[in-house]
Structure 1
Amino acid sequence: MTVQSVAVVSVPVSDQDRAKAFYVDKLGLKLVREDDSIPGLRWIQVAPDGGGTALTLVDWFEQMPPGSVQGLVLRTDDLDADYKTFSANGVPFDGPPEQQPWATEAVLHDPDGNMIVLQQA
C-alpha cells in the first residue's frame, strides 16, 4: 500500500461558524460537508472548488489551540487578483505579494490567527 495524497488537514478554530464564513465567503472555498451527527462534535469541511486537500475546521483538539496552524499553503493561479479581492473583503494580510525564490506569496490570517500563505508558483 502506498500513500496517495493528503485528504484532510485540521485547522483549529474557536468559532466554527465564524471560521466557515471566512473560508467560504472570504476565501471562496466550497463547503464540502457539515455534519453534527456525533454528539459534541461538529464536522465542517471546506475545499477548493476543484477538489484536492480539504480543510476541517475543528474545535475539539485540546492540543491544537485556535491559531496554532502556521504556514498552511493555498495555491492560486492569480495571486495579484486574489490579494486585491481578499483585501477588499477584509482579509488581513501581512503585506502585499512578494516574490520568493520558489514562488510569489502573500501571508494572510484567519479570524483565529492561523497563518496561511497564498502562493502562485
Structure 2
Amino acid sequence: MLKGIAVVWMPVQDIDRAKNFYGSTLGLSITKEDGDWAEVDANGLTIGLNGREPAGAQSDGGPVVTFQPEASLEDTVSELQNQGVEVPAGISEHPWGRVATFKDSEGNDVQLYEPPK
C-alpha cells in the first residue's frame, strides 16, 4: 500500500526561527522554501517545516510522518477507509502537493502525500 516515507513534517510557529535552528544551529541544508514552508535535508530524509493541516487530524504538537502511497492518493484513502480508518478532511490540495491526514492506532498524526503533477 505504501512506498515508504515521503517526508517527516515538523509543525512550527515561526518559520524563520525554525529555518535558523535547523540550518544554522544544526548545520542542515535548507533545500526548498516557499513562504511559511521549508524542506531540510537530514542525510537523505526530508524534514518539512510548516504548520499543521488546519482541517486534518486536529491535534497539537509532535512530528507527522508522511508516507507516499503506491497507488493513487484516492485509491489509497479509499482502501484505508474500507479498513475503518477515518480521514476527517479528505484530500487537501496545495501548490506543493496533495495530502490526506489521519490517525494511527495510537492517536499519532499520519499523512499520505502525493507531489504535484
How does the TM-score come out when normalised to structure 1? 0.41
